[in-house]
């Protein structure tokens, strides 16, 4: 999370008492605010959070179950069917179904200005944070866990380092990718 401008020592105290109370009532602590927590929902702008999720995206709950490793055989079959028939054009056909579902929650790479990957240990899902053009807040998705070479996270890293030569990827460059070693 990006830190707030001109803050830590005096920033929170400079907020009006009513605004601090509103943030606190909606679950934002001083520490979270100082670390740059997403305030859209606390400000009553929850619709902005869903604006970045494309219509062609795989089902959100189904994707969450897949990424967490809690999918049923029916879930897996449904997501494979979606990948083969409805995945966004910017996601290559060779990507695993669970990875494609996770990536589908993001807008097209044409809108990306940067990507941060946060690896987790022991095969747990990685966090992928995408910053968008003209958007103050990044979009975050969970990518199926890392560890072994064939994991979902490694497929995403391969995609970001060698994107397909399609119009959706033409402005993407590898130097916009950051992998931050946190979480293990």
Query: 155 or 6: which carries more pLDDT confidence?
Result: 155
**C-alpha–C-alpha distance, residues 13 and 85, integer Å:** 53
Nearest C-alpha neighbor of 51 from the set 134, 113, 122, 121: 134
**C-alpha–C-alpha distance, residues 97 and 80, integer Å:** 5
Given this model, what pLDDT does residue 49 score?
A: 47
**C-alpha–C-alpha distance, residues 37 and 56, integer Å:** 28
Mean pLDDT of 156-176: 87
CB 103 within 8 Å of CB 122: no
Structure tokens of 41?
């929902």
The reported pTM is: 0.73
- At 77-111, the pLDDT tens digits run 999 999 999 999 999 988 999 999 999 999 989 88
| Least-confidence region, from 23-27, 70-74, 82-86, 146-150 | 146-150
Given this model, what pLDDT does residue 136 score?
A: 61
Q: What is the enclosing helix (H) or strand (E) of 93?
A: none
- At 20-62, the pLDDT tens digits run 888 888 888 888 888 777 777 777 765 554 556 788 899 989 9
Residues 6+ apart with CB under 8 A from 169: 90, 109, 163
Q: What are the CA-CA distances from residue 163 to residues 128, 149, 173 (Å)?
A: 16, 18, 8
Mean pLDDT of 118-143: 83
Given this model, what pLDDT does residue 62 score?
A: 92
Q: How many CA atoms lie within 13 A of 72 on its CB side?
A: 4
Angle separating helix axes 60-67 and 73-86, nearest 10 degrees: 120
% of the chain exceeding 70 in pLDDT:
84
Domain boundaries, the chain: 11-46, 52-179
Given this model, what pLDDT does residue 159 score?
A: 92
Structure tokens of 36?
């740059």
């Amino acid at each position: 999370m990006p830190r707030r401008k001109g803050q830590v020592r005096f920033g929170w105290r400079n907020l009006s008492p009513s605004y601090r109370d509103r943030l606190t009532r909606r679950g934002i602590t001083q520490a979270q605010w100082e670390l740059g927590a997403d305030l859209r929902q606390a400000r009553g702008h929850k619709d902005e959070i869903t604006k970045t999720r494309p219509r062609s995206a795989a089902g959100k709950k189904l994707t969450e179950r897949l990424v967490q490793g809690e999918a049923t055989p029916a879930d897996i079959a449904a997501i494979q069917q979606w990948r083969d028939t409805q995945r966004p054009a910017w996601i290559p056909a060779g990507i695993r179904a669970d990875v494609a579902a996770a990536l589908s929650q993001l807008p097209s790479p044409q809108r990306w200005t940067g990507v941060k990957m946060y690896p987790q240990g022991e095969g747990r899902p990685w966090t992928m944070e995408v910053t968008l053009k003209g958007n103050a807040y990044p979009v975050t998705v969970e990518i199926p866990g890392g560890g072994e070479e064939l994991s979902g996270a490694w497929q995403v890293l391969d995609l970001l380092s060698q994107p397909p030569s399609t119009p959706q990827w033409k402005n993407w460059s590898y130097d916009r990718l950051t992998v931050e070693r946190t979480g293990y």
